[in-house]
Amino acid sequence: MATPNTPLWEVFIRSRNGLAHKHVGSLHASDATMALQAARDIYTRRGEGLSIWVVPSSAITASDPADKGMMFEPAESKIYRHPTFYEVPEEVGHM
């Protein structure tokens, strides 16, 4: 339950073979230590993680869905920004 004493936290988990922490969900906790404990109990029960970050949800600044057109549509018509027009030499191997 959301109360002033238990603010919302966002949880990020780095999995066993993952390179980056990925957002997995959120939870309520009184402070960072308790948030980390709760994240361990809720999001790593099936061996999902090797590392956990918790971030106060209030620290996140999000884009406004109403700005979708202005923010994201201009990029959709510019396919030349995708690196698909280059020949990758054999020697480079997997990129």
Partner 1 sequence: MAIANVQVSETPLVLYTLRRADDALILGHRLSEWCGHAPMLEEDMALSNIALDLLGLARELYSYTAQVEGRDNDEDKLAYLRDVRQYRNLLLVEQPNGDFARTLVRQLFYSAFADLYWRAMMKSGDATLAAIAAKSEKESAYHLRHSSEWIIRLGDGTAESHARAQTAIDDLWAFTGEMFTVDESERGLIETSVAIDPAGLRPQWLKTVSDVIGEATLAVPTNDWMQQGGRGGRHSEHLGHLLSELQHMQRTFPGLTW
Catalog residues that contact partner 1 under the rule CB under 8 A: 1, 6, 27-30, 33-34, 37-38, 40-42, 45
With respect to partner 1, which residue has the nearer C-beta, 21 or 40? 40
**Minimum CB–partner distance for residue 16 and partner 1 (Å):** 17
Read off φ and ψ for residue 8, nearest 5 degrees.
-85, 140
With respect to partner 1, which residue has the nearer C-beta, 29 or 52? 29
With respect to partner 1, which residue has the nearer C-beta, 31 or 88? 31
With respect to partner 1, which residue has the nearer C-beta, 37 or 57? 37
**Minimum CB–partner distance for residue 38 and partner 1 (Å):** 4
Q: How far is it, in rounded angstroms, from Cα 5 to Cα 19?
A: 34
CB burial of residue 2 (10 Å; 0-12, 13-18, 19+):
exposed
**Minimum CB–partner distance for residue 17 and partner 1 (Å):** 22
Q: Quick one: how far is CA 12 from the chain centroid?
A: 6
CB burial of residue 36 (10 Å; 0-12, 13-18, 19+):
middle
